[in-house]
Structure 1
């Protein structure tokens, strides 16, 4: 656990440094991973109730992955708005070659129907995944994504503690090769997506 937290802190520090130097929207903004993370094989459940694995079912040249939850008051809406706006900026070819997968970190409240309604507010093509919290944590581990095991409070709310707020890009070899932080703008993200797809 301590090792996982340390890795998460190291990645977040690197992302913070990158955010300080992103003045040119034409410049690649994401962080390319010298040692890509293997996409997890654990099966979660999509909003149609079908099994979905980030390793087996991400078949497009690029799949963006973000872990969050529908009741998140701050970073999730910020990141999701930027992703949705970035998709609107893509040309038809780039959009066809890119998927977006949102994995809930709050499966107690984010069932398939709740997740579908939430994602439809951003883009009805976005894929939503839910499941057992233990499986969600297992899915986050190989991607170095921190997911807290949320507990229900006596007040009826949830203590989710926290979750990582960066976006990963998984290629068609089932490897996460790039990370974007929460401050990446829609323009920068769209530009990076085009760059990645142009390199294939």
Structure 2
């Protein structure tokens, strides 16, 4: 686990360094952002992340864009892969549990999108099955690896194929944040992999109430 976290940190470092250099993260709230008089566990982004609208592919192999096809008040986006040995399943479970803590109206205002970082192995059907196994309303998306990298980069997520494993497969390094996109197609907040479902749900309720 320690090695995996190190690889993820190394993979993410160049993206964050570039973001800092361009001012993208200037003014970003630290963990525990105070917004509208409430302390949030997640970090509110000011200015927000840009969102790349390049089309990915959903479970029906139809185009799916994080700009054109996300019209709810909030869309949570997580980049991971089906064969991920630990972090991805934990984060997906956290988001699924957080959704159960919301009211019916709140749930209707939030979409959750899982974007694979391993399209060579994760087919559209497989990605859809994986996402909906956590919640029937979750959306799975894939696409060419270069497109996935381009969509992930402005959200502060680094994606790259890692080392080959003794089993014959390979590791995939990727950032592990959950990013929230609002109805104006801005990336407005993010959470680390260790956020709890209760913390995430409370933050979502707060963002929806603003």
**TM-aligned CA distance change 1:109 to 1:151, over 3 Å:** farther
Q: CA deviation at 1:151?
A: 6.8
Matched, 1:136 2:148: yes
Write the mapping of 1:54-65 to structure 2, written as runs, cut at 5 A.
54-65=66-77
Matched, 1:186 2:197: yes
2:124 is matched with 112
The answer to whether the Cα contact below 8 Å between 2:132 and 2:139 also exists between their aligned partners in 1 is no
Q: TM-score, normalised by structure 2?
A: 0.82
1:41 is matched with 53
Q: Which has the higher contact order (CA 8 A, sep 6+)?
A: 1
Give me the whole-angstrom Cα distance separating, in 2, the residues matched to 1:158 and 1:45: 23
Q: SS of the residue aligned with 2:88?
A: helix
Matched, 1:95 2:107: yes
Task: Note the aligned Cα RMSD (angstroms).
Answer: 2.5
**TM-aligned CA distance change 1:31 to 1:48, over 3 Å:** same
User: How many pairs does the alignment contain?
Assistant: 190
Q: CA deviation at 1:118?
A: 1.1
2:3 is matched with none
Q: TM-score, normalised by structure 1?
A: 0.86
Give me the whole-angstrom Cα distance separating, in 1, the residues matched to 2:170 and 2:162: 6
Q: CA deviation at 1:6?
A: 2.4
1:90-113 deviation digits (Å, cap 9, x = unpaired): 100000000000000000111011
Q: CA deviation at 1:150?
A: 5.0
Structure 1 outlier segments of 4+, above 4 Å: 7-11, 150-155
